[in-house]
């Protein structure tokens, strides 16, 4: 039954994709509309479906999508596909979202990101917005033969494993492991081993760690700072602070951008739905 349900959902997702321009290098779905959530009150069938579409040429893709789905866009559509693509690439986390869209009888939200921006984030963790999402369960709906994307997806997961291990204590449970985005099981967390792992982290995270640990006026290079962190008993906390410094600003910028890309009315409705979902989750935990 589970396999049958998975296959039927895959067909439904591909049917939704047929409403959009075909030039997608990667498309994936995620969230409660895709994966059943714990709890008796979870309603997977009526939950909003979340998608991310990766495109090589955002200007061309948005131009075609506006012809097919003009109503999906906020008032910004009157500025044309070049401005839409500029807003997508240059503000927030490099994603342009169209929320609260009805497609094939389902409520969906879809984000559009440039292939080159996605690959940069997967490799270097520039903002960890979509790269972070791809470290969690997702349903790949379509993928081109672009080897650069496949390689970057693998690198992102390897980096996540390394970072998670650095943040875990000497001993940890299986639940701890998955909470820290899964990790490889090593027997020795020596400073030498931690230094080797720190060197393999994406460069943006290394730079954030250097910024946190480098005293004013010292201007040490990144490797010198990472060596110090490797010998620090609070190495995991430093990595966590570095991750927070990447994620928080991009999330704030992306949320602010959403007011314009979605439109004020949709933003209010979407925020209300999110608050209602959070409230239901809090009631379940306290009951």
User: What digits encode the pLDDT tens for the residues 66-114?
Assistant: 999 999 998 888 999 999 999 888 877 788 988 888 998 888 889 999 9
Which pTM does this prediction carry? Answer: 0.69
Of the candidates 144, 110, 150, the one whose C-alpha atom is nearest the C-alpha of residue 20 is 110
Q: What is the pLDDT of residue 46?
A: 67
Q: Where are the domains of the chain?
A: 2-40+48-151
Q: What is the pLDDT of residue 184?
A: 31
Q: What is the mean pLDDT of the chain?
A: 79
Mean pLDDT of 244-269: 61
User: What digits encode the pLDDT tens for the residues 139-161?
Assistant: 999 999 999 999 999 999 989 88
How many DSSP H helices and E strands does the chain contain?
A: 12, 5
Q: Which residues contact 133 (CB under 8 A, 6 or more apart)?
A: 30, 52
Q: What is the pLDDT of residue 61?
A: 97
Q: What is the pLDDT of residue 16?
A: 94
Q: What is the pLDDT of residue 6?
A: 46
User: What digits encode the pLDDT tens for the residues 42-79?
Assistant: 556 667 798 999 999 999 999 999 999 999 998 888 99
Q: Taking a C-beta distance cutoff of 8 angstroms, is the pair 121, 54 a contact?
A: no
Q: What is the pLDDT of residue 194?
A: 75
Q: What is the assigned CATH class of domain 2-40+48-151?
A: alpha beta
End-to-end alpha carbon distance in the chain: 31
Distance of CA 35 to the CA centre of its chain: 16
Residue of 2 and 45 predicted with greater confidence: 45
User: What digits encode the pLDDT tens for the residues 201-215?
Assistant: 888 888 888 888 876
Q: Is the pLDDT of residue 9 over 70?
A: no
Taking the C-alpha atoms of residue 220 and residue 156, their distance in angstroms, rounded to an integer, is 27
HSE at residue 90, side-chain half, CA atoms within 13 A, is 6
Q: Taking a C-beta distance cutoff of 8 angstroms, is the pair 180, 192 a contact?
A: no
Residue of 179 and 99 predicted with greater confidence: 99
**Structural Rg of the chain based on CA atoms:** 21
What residues form DSSP beta bridges with 96? 112
């Amino acid at each position: 039954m589970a396999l049958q349900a998975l296959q039927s959902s895959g067909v439904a997702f591909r049917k939704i994709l047929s409403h959009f321009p075909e030039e997608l290098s990667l498309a994936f779905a995620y969230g409660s509309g895709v994966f059943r959530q714990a709890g008796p009150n979870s309603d997977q069938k009526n939950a909003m479906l979340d998608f991310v579409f990766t495109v090589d040429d955002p200007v061309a893709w948005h131009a075609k999508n506006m012809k097919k789905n003009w109503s999906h866009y906020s008032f910004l559509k009157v500025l044309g596909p070049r401005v839409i693509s500029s807003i997508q690439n240059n503000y927030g986390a490099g994603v342009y979202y169209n929320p609260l869209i009805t497609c094939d009888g389902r409520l969906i939200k879809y984000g559009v990101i440039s292939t080159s921006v996605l690959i940069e984030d997967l490799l270097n963790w520039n903002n960890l917005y979509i790269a972070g999402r791809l470290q969690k369960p997702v349903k790949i709906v379509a993928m081109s033969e672009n080897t650069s994307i496949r390689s970057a997806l693998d690198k992102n997961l390897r980096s996540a494993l390394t970072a998670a291990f650095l943040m875990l204590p000497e001993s940890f449970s299986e639940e701890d492991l998955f909470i820290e985005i899964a990790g490889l099981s090593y027997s020795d967390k020596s400073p030498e081993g931690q230094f080797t792992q720190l060197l393999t982290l994406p460069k943006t995270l290394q730079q954030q760690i250097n910024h946190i640990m480098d005293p004013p006026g010292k201007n040490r290079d990144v490797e010198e700072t990472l060596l110090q962190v490797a010998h620090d008993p609070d190495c995991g906390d430093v990595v966590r602070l570095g991750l927070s410094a990447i994620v928080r600003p991009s999330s704030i910028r992306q949320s602010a951008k959403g007011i314009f890309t979605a439109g004020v009315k949709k933003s209010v409705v979407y925020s209300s739905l999110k608050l209602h979902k959070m409230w239901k989750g809090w009631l379940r935990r306290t009951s």
